[in-house]
Structure 1
Amino acid sequence: MADHPSPALSDHPEPVVVVGDTHTSNPTLRRDDVVLRKGVLTLVSGPFTPRESMVEDLLAVRDALDAAGIEHLLVRGDDDRRVIAVDRRRRKEITAALATAFANEPFYASPVDVDGAPTLIADGRLSRRKAHVLRLFRPRLEPIGRLRYGAETAMQLEFWRFGDEDIEAPRPNALMRTRLPRNEAIEESVTIYGRTWRTLEHMFDPLASDIAFDIDIVFSWVDGSSAEFQRKRAAQQAAYVVGDGDDNEARYRQIDELKYAMRSVHMFAPWVRNIYIATDSPLPSWLAPHPNVHIMRSEDFFVDTSTLPTHNSHAVESQLHHIPGIAEHFLYSNDDMFIGRPISPDIFFSPGGVTKFVEAGTRIGLGESDPARSGFENAARVNRRLLWERFGAVTTRHLEHCAAPLRVSVLNEMEREFPDDFARTAASPFRSATDISVTNSLYHYYSLMTGRAVVQTQARVQYIETTLHEAEEKMRRLLKRRDQDMFCLNDGSKPEIGVEERTRIVTEFLERYFPFPAPWERMEG
């Protein structure tokens, strides 16, 4: 997504000069939390998300301007970036004020509207050429995973011309063109990030193009390592015949992937309102109570609780829209699916609530459902038959393994449209050849054929089967590039490497990719 800033990453350890004991006159270099990396002073950062880093720098710039008595406006950029607009006639004062305020900070200014390298603000200039649009930021480096933030996630400083007749901005923003008649420039105030700011009228009003509705996310999760789970599942499964691969322990094995999947939401999708965890397993030891995390037991949302317990993910997925209090618009994800970089909700929804789903390149294939097939393959065929009978169109592709957007109202409509199929699937304790798969892909193609969904073709998604020999290199490359919106680390049913090796590789990768604990994690020790 072009407008979604991505954190950069260096996966390979690089020589880092720790400069706490230096003879240079720059006081920034004497700080213990600053390193020199490729010639750039970099703040060794704590657990800040990209947005938190931007906000911290934005407030620091605002404080510097306030201290110098320099007036400014807060503006919403055309890409929703936060912008501080200042009078270009006061450029020298502004440059001096920022240099003074950040004399001991690794604060940089990176020009946007002209070519040029970032300059250290403490050196007393904002750019080598007279840029009117600058990204201001402190480069940040997380030392374990080498996660770093720079200009891509920064706030913006713009130099405007405030004339008697009109106001001229160097580029359009969310509300205005580059010129605004002075008599139309009505000021108002807005409270954002705990501060009151001067701005232009309607600058931060909801826009028709905004996604203003609440969005929740649901994770389904099973702790297959639980002895109680294994005992109950084995006893119940004795009376059933399951499909190819459906009884493989890989489907239930877990190595705390859920912790990192939830971290990915915290780091890269801060617009998510609530997280729901659909599980009947004991809670993981790392999860602490939190007002935005809700544990949903099957009896909390299954319409017919007499069918419980269930070990069938299709059954769980057929009942998600009955979760009490869940938002009309929500995402569904498994614990092995992760958000890979900062994304906006428009990757999943249009402003009008149309859902966007990602098709995989994999075809469903021919043939009908068969007990010998996997439950995943069978459900795709049952879905295809229902949609053919209802719409006279054939579905050909599976969906990508990533978070999928859903709407409660459409799911309720589908349950009324296919009541027997929903009820049968919800009542099946294990995957069967007659199951529907609501979240993959019945909902999405039903919505497509009724005008409530479109195919998302811009999202970048990667699937890695972590039990194959090639997986480690793929994860190493992903860690270095961080160029995927979403990715899945699937535990394949036909492994080439052992469980212990797979556990080590995946755990090390996840800890480096998502190094910051989320607010709902218990403190170690």
Structure 2
Amino acid sequence: MSLQKMIMNWTAVYVFILISCLILSVYIHFLEEWNALEEYNSRLLKEGINTDTMHTNVEVDLNEQVDLVYTWVNGSDPNFNRQLHEYLASINRKNTDVMELNRFYDLGTIKYSLRSVEKYASWIRHIFVVTNGQFPSWLRRNHPKLTFVTHEEIFANKSHLPTFASPAIESNLHRIAGLSKRFIYMNDNILLTSKLELSDLITIGGKYKVKFMTERPFMCNKLCNVNSVNNGVCEQNCLTESCEFDGDDCIGKKPPPYPGTDGAFMFDSWMGSIMHTYFLLNKWFGPKDRYVAEHGAHLFDRTIINKLNKRFPKEWELTSSHKTRHHLSVQFQFMFIQYLKETGQIDVVSDMRKARKCCNKVKLVVDNRSDESRRKQIEVCSLELKLKKPNYLVLTNSFTMAMSDKRKSIIEADITNFLETLFPEPSSFER
């Protein structure tokens, strides 16, 4: 055998071993996360309840009147764009087309989400859509079961307006006039793909049904675990902005500076708000592992939201005041669900295989891929919907570069055609 062939053979063996080790390490990491999540749910079921805040569950009437709340924005509206650009210019912050595409680009999903709700959850009493004053052109505005609510109607502090931050809007949803005590909140990019009952969201014993992802916040920088912030111990490794300088732990002390090389690192605004809320919960209930809930329709209680508001009034007010997304915001869904967990108000499925099966969703990521690739992606998504029969279809934007109006129109047409095949019948909310 020639030397060249020997080298090629050994190279192939080396590559095989390297790939095998990589697959094994990913599998081991997955098992560790899976076991951690099962242990987490086991603690919820057995002993993970804070007795100082134990809630006495009251029997729930599964026929009670429950409303649905959406938040919606039409990012192509000229008035909206003018206000956004004027505000960004006033704070010397550069606007990016990619940011607008990912946060405000409207693919028309709310029309089909409403069709899905009318098809699979017609028992919902009333639907509220919170906007900055926009209305879709196809909307039947005098529908008795649908109300569009402006930001001005729900923000207690009008100086916080206009706002372009979803956490700010969400922190005021419980102020919607006439809203039911318990209400469902979901984004307009979520479509129901199977029947939804109130019993899917809460038990007759008053425990909320929550499904957690296997992901959880872990480190707020390279050296500091999230459970080390607001744990009562001043730690040098947590003295970065991403760890909020160890919360309250180092107040009045002069520890040495952070020893790592990533001191200037910051999370994106969404994960930053999760971390911020995590640190507040550490202060309230003590450090412990906390997982993020699955994306979907969730049930909320106005009474509990008011209680959370009163517990952290400054933080809630600060969240409401942010004009654009900010890491120092309360992530209200994360806080609400973690409060439920702490007070014994969660019904957890102990077998995570069943939990994953019951809460599965199909996700369609809309991005800068080619037209051919996107259409193949939609075909795969359609097949997944038929095979998996999930609870939800979730469409998310993940653009990495700006696009021309022509490219946008092609994407919009592809998505509209896809959603029309899923929900061809117009809802009563359309003209």
Q: How far 1:450 moved relative to its partner? A: 1.4
Q: Which has the higher contact order (CA 8 A, sep 6+)?
A: 2
> CA 1:374–1:392 in 2, change beyond 3 Å: closer, same or farther?
same
Aligned partners of 2:165 and 2:325 also within 8 Å: yes
Moved more, 282-291 or 362-371: 362-371
Q: How far 1:296 moved relative to its partner? A: 0.8
Aligned partners of 2:98 and 2:400 also within 8 Å: no
Aligned partners of 1:244 and 1:372 also within 8 Å: no
Classify the secondary structure of the residue corresponding to 2:147: strand
Q: How far 1:306 moved relative to its partner? A: 1.9
> CA 1:418–1:284 in 2, change beyond 3 Å: closer, same or farther?
same
Q: Cα RMSD over matched residues?
A: 2.6
Aligned residue among 405, 411, 421 for 1:502 = 411
**Whole-Å separation in 2 of the counterparts to 1:477 and 1:354:** 34
- 1:382 equivalent in structure 2: 276
Aligned residue among 345, 361, 365 for 2:198 = 345
- 1:448 equivalent in structure 2: 341
- Letter of the 1:337 partner, please give it: I
- 1:295 equivalent in structure 2: 148
Classify the secondary structure of the residue corresponding to 2:99: coil
Q: Deviations over 1:80-110 (max 9, x none)?
A: xxxxxxxxxxxxxxxxxxxxxxxxxxxxxxx
Aligned residue among 329, 340, 351 for 2:182 = 329
**Whole-Å separation in 1 of the counterparts to 2:188 and 2:428:** 18
Aligned partners of 2:97 and 2:401 also within 8 Å: no
Classify the secondary structure of the residue corresponding to 1:397: coil
Q: Whose strand proportion is higher, 1 or 2?
A: 1
1:272-421 matched pairs, under 5 angstroms? 272-288=124-140, 289-367=142-220, 368=242, 372-421=266-315
Classify the secondary structure of the residue corresponding to 2:215: strand
Classify the secondary structure of the residue corresponding to 2:62: coil
**Structure exhibiting the larger radius of gyration computed from Cα positions:** 1
Q: Deviations over 1:469-509 (max 9, x none)?
A: 47324322134346011121111133799534432332111
**Whole-Å separation in 2 of the counterparts to 1:495 and 1:244:** 9
- Tell me the TM-score normalized by structure 2: 0.67
- How many residues align? The count is 314
- 2:104 equivalent in structure 1: 252
**Whole-Å separation in 2 of the counterparts to 1:480 and 1:503:** 23
Aligned partners of 1:248 and 1:493 also within 8 Å: no
Aligned residue among 121, 146, 150 for 1:269 = 121
The unaligned stretches of length 5 or more in structure 2 are 1-58, 221-241, 244-263, 350-354
Aligned partners of 1:384 and 1:394 also within 8 Å: no
Q: How far 1:241 moved relative to its partner? A: 4.9
> CA 1:308–1:209 in 2, change beyond 3 Å: closer, same or farther?
closer
2:124 aligned with 1:218: no
The unaligned stretches of length 5 or more in structure 1 are 1-207
- 1:483 equivalent in structure 2: 389
**Whole-Å separation in 2 of the counterparts to 1:480 and 1:463:** 13
Aligned partners of 2:270 and 2:327 also within 8 Å: no
Q: Deviations over 1:444-475 (max 9, x none)?
A: 11121112234463322233212254732432
State, as a whole percentage, how many aligned pairs show the same letter. 25
- 1:23 equivalent in structure 2: none
Q: How far 1:337 moved relative to its partner? A: 0.7
Classify the secondary structure of the residue corresponding to 1:265: helix
Aligned partners of 1:221 and 1:279 also within 8 Å: yes
Q: How far 1:513 moved relative to its partner? A: 0.8
2:338 aligned with 1:438: no
